[in-house]
Chain A
Amino acid sequence: MSGPHSHALYVHGHTWLHRLAPQAKLTAQLLFVVAVVATPREAIWAFAVYALMVTGLVAAARLPATFVAKRLLFEIPFVLFAVLLPFVGGGERVDVLGLSLSAEGLWGAWNIVAKATIGLAVSIVVAATTTMPEFLRGFEALNMPRAFTSTLSFMIRYTDVIADEMRRMKVARQSRGYDPRWLWQAKAVGSAAGALFIRSYERGERVYLSMLSRGYAGSIPRFDETPATAAAWAIALSLPAAAAAIASAAWLVTR
């Protein structure tokens, strides 16, 4: 936790990227990833340019390189199978360091790893420069259904509260000598999960009563409806626009 309203992925800062309207950031992120994914895998130069663009964003947001690198490790379990492709792929074989690998498999692995890494990196930048409330406002400004944003908001608010309750129940179990080693000892954990569910359900009722007491009449009022400026949209969308131009160029070149 590194600030008053941080989430684990947030890095406190005051750069223009931090200040950019969240709805513009979210839209730009999505479009950028689409453009990257639509780029032909043979255009290696295009991916180099994307990587440069993302590196530029990391620098602009003043994110520590080690932070980004650590966060990137997150993709390893997801791209693990891609690494196997060169070994199991069929077709033409090429020799790399004495290993006979599938050319098609190599391209496949490159495709997945390059696109996943660039997509993840840009997501890390957005997450690191946007607070939770900003995300929620961004979703709302993009006309996400209110039921969805409200649910998300309650989830964020109460995750800590419920995790805390869970921790207290665990400490209480352990304090009475509970130290499960075998599956049949798991019953207490099951009961605790049930108790937690009931408690959360009851809390939901109490929260609802407190909402009613403050005049809640079916919908949470919107705050801070200041729309993003045209300049903010222009700055944000210049990134996916550039990416789209590169992707198109890559298609023309590889034809």
Chain B
Amino acid sequence: MSDAALEVRELAFAYPDGSQALFGVDLRVESGERVALLGPNGAGKTTFVMHLNGINAAQHGSVAVGGLPVTKEHLREIRRRVGIVFQDPDDQLFMPTVREDVAFGPANLGLRGDELDARVHEALEAVGMEGTADRAPHHLSFGQRRRVAVATVLAMEPEILVLDEPSSNLDPAGRRELADILRGLRITMLMVTHDLPYALELCPRAVVMNRGTIVADGATVEILSDQALMSANRLELPYGFFPELAGRSVTA
């Protein structure tokens, strides 16, 4: 059996001020899976994500990406394998032009010249933004910036794509366009979101995190239909949304 795309074991973490954020998280994601990470604010989702590429170091337990443990000596390779798309594209896009921003990651990996140009082009093409390479990020619309933010990570050819609230602040059309793009990517995906219909639409599997542990793991449609589980973890569906009905139209 090959290594899991992501293997997290008994991960625990406390902040320097003593507040414990993670109390032993176990999660295994197979290659090619799309998994939604659900949970209320303050559940530890962001802290958890920061462990996946070694921004936060595991204090107890372990994280491995494609079999490679997340430790200091592997950080460079880990950060190539794990691409995190942050919530605010203005935090992610900091270079003067879109082209330079998308090139930033692969250039850090040592790519130069034609190879680098090809990476930038492919990544922008994958998110339908190839026409904006020479523009300044702050002259793009919010939805375009979110898509370029995805491209900046794709350019590193990651093995697992981690998205923090990908649909937040997007208008409905921008939200759908991003869904189409994400569905088209053949890549392992972990999506942190409060947007439960989005999770259902894109991720066949969902895990629920609350108070620093994983409290549920299963098919997204079943998790969203479990009312006791949902209300125990401050999760709520939009008015008039029935996951069993919507779930039938989803092609995983």
Contact = CB atoms under 8 A, between A and B. Distances in A.
B134 interface: yes
Main SS of the interface on chain A? helix
Given A133-B97, A221-B108, A223-B100, A214 B79 contact: yes
A214 B153 contact: yes
A220 B55 contact: no
Nearest to B100: A223
A214 B152 contact: yes
20 contacts: A1-B139, A5-B134, A5-B136, A132-B136, A133-B136, A136-B96, A154-B94, A156-B96, A157-B94, A158-B90, A160-B138, A206-B88, A209-B55, A210-B84, A210-B86, A214-B152, A214-B156, A215-B76, A215-B108, A216-B104
B91 A206 contact: yes
A214 B100 CA distance: 13
Given A153-B96, A161-B90, A215-B76, A4 B104 contact: no
Interface residues of A, number: 28
Contact of B103 (A157, A158, A161, A223): A223
A211 interface: yes
Interface string B30-57: 0000000000000000000010010100
A251 to B, nearest CB: 42
Contacts of A206: 86, 88, 91
B96 A132 contact: yes
Interface in B67-85: 76, 79-80, 82-84
Contacts of A214: 79, 83, 104-105, 108, 152-153, 156
B91 A215 contact: no
A213 interface: yes
A160 B50 CA distance: 28
Nearest to A214: B105
Interface of A: 1, 4-5, 132-133, 136, 153-154, 156-158, 160-161, 203, 206-207, 209-217, 220-221, 223
B95 interface: yes
B156 A215 contact: yes
Nearest to B99: A223
Interface residues of B, number: 37
B156 A210 contact: no
B108 A213 contact: no
Nearest to B49: A213
A156 B93 CA distance: 12
A198 to B, nearest CB: 16
A153 B95 contact: yes
Contacts of A213: 53, 55, 79, 82-84, 86
A157 B91 contact: no
B79 A5 contact: no
Contacts of B139: 1, 4-5
B137 interface: yes
Contacts of A221: 103-104, 107-108
B122 to A, nearest CB: 16
A104 to B, nearest CB: 48
A157 B95 contact: yes
Interface in B156-187: 156
